[in-house]
């Protein structure tokens, strides 16, 4: 994927490093020349000096071909302006780091797909939003020790047609991850999952998991059937 990250701070830098290791095409935008020089020297990412809130800078970053825009600057107003312009260029997935909760509704109106609160921001959550858009965190519990999240079963997932019991019995499915509800989009009904319940394409699976196991569970539930 072609991914643009606005903000070369700790979050943007670590995210860029990870995505480049995964062979994604990454461009970083930052208004500070020293930050751009440092991150280029550190990981070799293309770093553009400029404001991500300016259309000229986004054009230089080739926003027209971006699959994902991550607005992670320290300024919500800049992140909002960046999001609006990215949307106008047809970027399908826009993720922002929100510092001030007063901006949350504005981000939603702007068409932002995911708003990550700075109070619970983790690079792993941004990574999950980029690589696994079918997986969404709902809330944290136990002072952040576990999360409730929902997975939408995609086309060709390996779990389609399998039972809950078969899934949780797999050695590749985290033992600390528990199904708590299933929403069937065809019948438009919620159900409490039982061992013999069969998973269908498009089902929304609600789970509770330790924070360490979310990515592994998401990977397993969205992996395609081996051909």
pLDDT value of position 123: 61
Buried b (16+ CB within 10 A) or exposed e, 183-195: beeeeeeeeebee
Q: What is the mean pLDDT of the chain?
A: 89
> What element of type H or E holds 116?
strand 114-117
Contact 134, 22 (CB under 8 A): no
Q: pLDDT tens digit string along 69-90?
A: 999 998 999 999 999 999 999 9
pLDDT value of position 187: 85
pLDDT value of position 99: 86
pLDDT value of position 49: 97
pTM metric for this prediction: 0.61
Residue 120 has pLDDT above 80, yes or no: no
In the predicted model, what is the mean pLDDT of residues 163-184? 93
> What element of type H or E holds 169?
helix 164-169
- Greater confidence (142 vs 198) lies with 198
Buried b (16+ CB within 10 A) or exposed e, 104-124: eebbeebebbbbbeeeeeebe
Buried b (16+ CB within 10 A) or exposed e, 27-62: bbbbbeeebbeebeeebebbbbbbbbbbeebbeebe
- Greater confidence (121 vs 212) lies with 212
Q: What are residue 208's DSSP bridge partners?
A: 148, 178
Q: Residue 73: how many CA atoms within 13 Å on its side-chain side? A: 22
- Pairing state between β 93-98 and 68-71: parallel
C-alpha to C-alpha distance for 22 and 172, rounded to whole angstroms = 21
Q: pLDDT tens digit string along 18-68?
A: 899 989 999 999 999 999 999 999 999 999 999 999 999 999 999 999 999
Domains along the chain?
Answer: 2-131 (3.40.50.720), 135-222 (3.30.70.1450)
In the predicted model, what is the mean pLDDT of residues 171-177? 91
Count of Cβ atoms closer than 10 Å to residue 145 Cβ: 10
């Amino acid at each position: 994927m072609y991914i643009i990250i606005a903000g070369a701070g700790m979050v943007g830098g670590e995210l860029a490093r990870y995505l480049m290791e995964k062979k994604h095409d990454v461009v970083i935008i930052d208004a500070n020349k020293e930050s751009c020089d440092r991150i280029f020297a550190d990981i070799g990412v293309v770093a553009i000096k400029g404001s991500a809130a300016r259309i000229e800078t986004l054009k230089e970053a080739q926003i027209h071909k971006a699959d994902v825009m991550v607005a992670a600057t320290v300024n919500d107003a800049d992140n909002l302006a960046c999001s609006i312009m990215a949307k106008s260029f047809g970027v399908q997935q826009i993720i922002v780091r929100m510092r001030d909760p007063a901006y949350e509704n504005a981000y939603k109106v702007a068409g932002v797909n995911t708003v990550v609160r700075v109070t619970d921001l983790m690079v792993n959550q941004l990574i999950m939003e980029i690589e696994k858009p079918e997986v969404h965190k709902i809330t944290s519990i136990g002072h952040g020790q576990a999360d409730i999240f929902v997975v939408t079963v995609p086309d060709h997932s390996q779990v389609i047609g399998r039972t809950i019991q078969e899934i949780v019995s797999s050695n590749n499915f985290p033992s600390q991850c528990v199904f708590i509800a299933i929403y069937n989009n065809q019948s438009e009904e919620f159900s409490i999952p039982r061992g013999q319940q069969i998973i269908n394409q498009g089902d929304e699976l609600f789970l509770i998991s330790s924070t360490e196991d979310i990515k592994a569970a998401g990977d397993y539930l969205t992996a395609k059937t081996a051909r």
